[in-house]
Structure 1
Amino acid sequence: MRQIDHPFHVDGCGRTADAGADDHIRDMIEQLLFTSPGERVNRPDFGSGLLRKVFDPNSPELATALQFTVQADLQRWLGDLIEVRSLEVTGEDATLRVVIEYMVRATGDVQRRTLARGGA
């Protein structure tokens, strides 16, 4: 099955760029984590709302709440593709960092990714 790369772009041959299976899963995780609920027209509940928390004061309670909600969102939207092994959400200044370790269900491969976004 053809999987379109994210963000959308055109490859060197002038066609829509494809993504490999591992890159496609990484792209889907990134889209889920950094999309705010209400941004998608036909899926208003899609997204984690993580970017809204970039400037919230850091505290152990906030970190625990974020990890719980992000884990639930990953299970809901991508649970058929991945099994989350570990998840760490941290915020420093205006940067939000998510470290996720997951197993790809189709292959059994374990991946570890770090995703970060800065505030405006």
Structure 2
Amino acid sequence: MSLAFPFRIDARGRSAEVFGDDHIRDMIEQVLFTVPGERVNRPDFGCGLLQLTFAPNNDALSAAVQMTVQGALQQWLGELIEVEAVTVQCDDATLNVTVQYITRMDRDRQLARYAKELA
């Protein structure tokens, strides 16, 4: 059992909780959308994905973003997941990220999709 991300209150009036795969998805989201330097006690946490959204869209940037995201996920969540593929697309004012991974505990293949409004 872990606290839900983003933090919220559940129907019982308590801190919302998540379990298993939902917790892993929450942790992936935190790594993806946390800017390095944002966390006080972990200044290198995150991958800086949001900082790259307004850079020119080309193949080189796309490859760099994919490697940066995959490296950050391996660094911070490598004990829990094995990253197979990362896809990052920017559509108008929305950043779409798809992460395909295998959970190390039960070897289940998972696909997580995240969308972040940029405006």
Q: What TM-score results when the alignment is normalised by the length of structure 1?
A: 0.94
> Which residue is 2:8 aligned to?
9
Q: 1:16 is matched by which residue type in structure 2? A: S
> Which residue is 2:82 aligned to?
83
> Which residue is 1:36 aligned to?
35
Deviations 1:84-103 (A, max 9, x none): 11111122333221111101
Q: 1:70 is matched by which residue type in structure 2? A: V
Q: 1:73 is matched by which residue type in structure 2? A: A
Shift of 1:10: 1.7
Deviations 1:28-82 (A, max 9, x none): 0001000000110100000111001111111000000001111110000000000
Whole-angstrom CA distance in 2 between matches of 1:19 and 1:11 = 11
Partner of 1:98, secondary structure, is strand
- Taking only the aligned residue pairs, the percentage that are identical comes to 53
Unaligned runs of 5+ in 1: none
Q: 1:14 is matched by which residue type in structure 2? A: G
Whole-angstrom CA distance in 1 between matches of 2:70 and 2:95 = 16
Whole-angstrom CA distance in 2 between matches of 1:119 and 1:51 = 8
> Which residue is 1:116 aligned to?
115
Unaligned runs of 5+ in 2: none
Whole-angstrom CA distance in 1 between matches of 2:91 and 2:7 = 29
Structural RMSD (CA): 1.0
Instruction: Map 1:29-108; keep pairs closer than 5 Å.
Output: 29-108=28-107
